Structure 1
Amino acid sequence: MVYDILIPTVPVLGSYLITYALYRRGLIKKSLHVNVWNFIIGISFLVCGGAGFILLILLDMGVALPISKQLLYWHVEFGVTMALVTVFHFHIYWKGTKAMLGLLKRRSGS
């Protein structure tokens, strides 16, 4: 089976750049930008995780349905989308990500 990397990547990357540019120019609020991408990562997780769970159950039961290949394809495509949106998520929450990873410089003083 051949998987398409560009099909999920190009529109997702283009959409992120558009919403980020709109936010930076003050045309939309940061909260809208963040909420859009939180929604997209949530939907990606539900589809990818749900498809993976169904495939796991079918595999465990030894059932091979004709739809299994299509389900696997979409599981992978939404997994690629979720991975890409996770990078955007780290970009949006970069300060918190740095703090979580211990990369923030500690202030000296009282």
Structure 2
Amino acid sequence: MSPMMQRYMKSQTTSSASDSAFAIGSRNQAILEINPKHSVIKALKEMMEKSPDSSETEDMVMMIYETAALIGGYTIEDPGDFAKRVTKLMEFQADAGGSAPDTQDAEVVG
């Protein structure tokens, strides 16, 4: 069942009993597939090895997760936090004087 259909069905439930039944029985479990050869995942692995508890590592993990959720059609918990992480990433790119990341090996999944 698509995320949009899940939201529609949930909005149609009227009693808390039917809402609970829907929550338990009919939602699909989303699966996040990770390509270990992708440059972003390689960078995350390096960050986890060097400083697993840093805020930058946590931001990277959340960016990957939330981006995948958005691509999959799901909503994210806090769009404001997501926007802050995106802004921080753009500021870092601007400060580093770097160009846009190499997207040659990136895949768009829709």
Q: What TM-score does the superposition give when structure 2 sets the normalisation length?
A: 0.32
Higher relative contact order (CA closer than 8 Å, sequence separation 6+): 1
Q: What TM-score does the superposition give when structure 1 sets the normalisation length?
A: 0.32
